[in-house]
């Protein structure tokens, strides 16, 4: 557990054997986002889990029957104080990292950034919201010398062969 001078606490629960030993970048990213937010204090926990665990949580809490990259839960939001939990999948980060040309640690960092942005109020439900969130992700990741790559949207004339849009990146 590490406290930030402004009143931010970021805890980690590592529930997989092959997780990165150093969570300092993850902690720094959470703190950077909190510093830029309206919150004066926060207690954030980050759990690094496997696909099986995140799949179970996604099914139980969101009724989505598949593993995902990150889940964000706001536990309390009161008078400038935020309590929240992030759950990130190391399995998904490992699988996706090579597809996007960076390390699993960088992919995990993206998940923590994305999840923390959700905790502080950003959303990605609409195209405008998604563009704003991606702009924030890019801004935060730039501090670490990283630039996320996102899937290019399908051309307007292309129709998905299965009638369902492909899952978008993060």
Tell me the pLDDT of the chain averaged across its residues.
86
Mean pLDDT of 116-122: 97
Q: What is the pLDDT of residue 112?
A: 98
Q: Report, in angstroms and rounded to the nearest whole number, the Rg of the chain calculated over CA atoms.
A: 16
Q: What is the pLDDT of residue 82?
A: 98
Distance CA 162, CA 139 (A): 35
Query: Which among 16, 77, 8 has a CA at the least distance from the CA of 44?
Result: 8
Query: With 50 as the cut, is the pLDDT of residue 84 above it?
Result: yes
What domains can be seen in the chain, in order of their start residue?
Answer: 2-142 (3.40.390.30)
Mean pLDDT of 89-116: 94
Q: What is the pLDDT of residue 1?
A: 47
Per-residue pLDDT tens digits for 121-134: 999 999 999 999 99
pLDDT band at 157 (very low <50, low <70, confident <90, very high): very low
Distance CA 49, CA 13 (A): 9
Query: With 60 as the cut, is the pLDDT of residue 136 above it?
Result: yes
Per-residue pLDDT tens digits for 6-43: 689 999 999 999 888 889 999 999 999 999 999 999 99
Q: What is the pLDDT of residue 168?
A: 43
Query: With 80 as the cut, is the pLDDT of residue 67 above it?
Result: yes
Mean pLDDT of 66-70: 95
Q: What is the pLDDT of residue 106?
A: 95
Distance CA 73, CA 80 (A): 17
If 0-12 CB within 10 Å is exposed, 13-18 middle and 19+ buried, where does residue 32 land? middle
């Amino acid at each position: 557990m590490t406290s930030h001078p402004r009143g931010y606490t970021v805890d980690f629960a590592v529930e997989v054997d092959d997780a990165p030993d150093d969570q300092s970048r993850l902690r720094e990213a959470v703190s950077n986002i909190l510093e830029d937010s309206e919150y004066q204090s926060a207690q954030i926990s980050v759990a690094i889990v496997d696909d099986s665990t995140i799949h179970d949580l996604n099914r139980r809490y969101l009724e989505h029957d598949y593993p995902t990259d990150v889940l964000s839960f706001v536990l309390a939001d009161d008078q400038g104080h935020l309590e929240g939990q992030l759950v990130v999948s190391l399995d998904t980060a490992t699988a996706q990292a090579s597809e996007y040309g960076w390390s699993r640690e960088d992919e995990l960092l993206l998940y923590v950034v994305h999840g923390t942005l959700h905790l502080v109020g950003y959303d990605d439900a609409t195209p405008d919201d998604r563009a704003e969130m991606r702009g924030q992700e890019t801004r935060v990741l730039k501090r670490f010398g990283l630039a996320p790559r996102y899937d290019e949207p399908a051309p307007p004339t292309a129709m998905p062969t299965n009638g369902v849009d492909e899952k978008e990146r993060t």
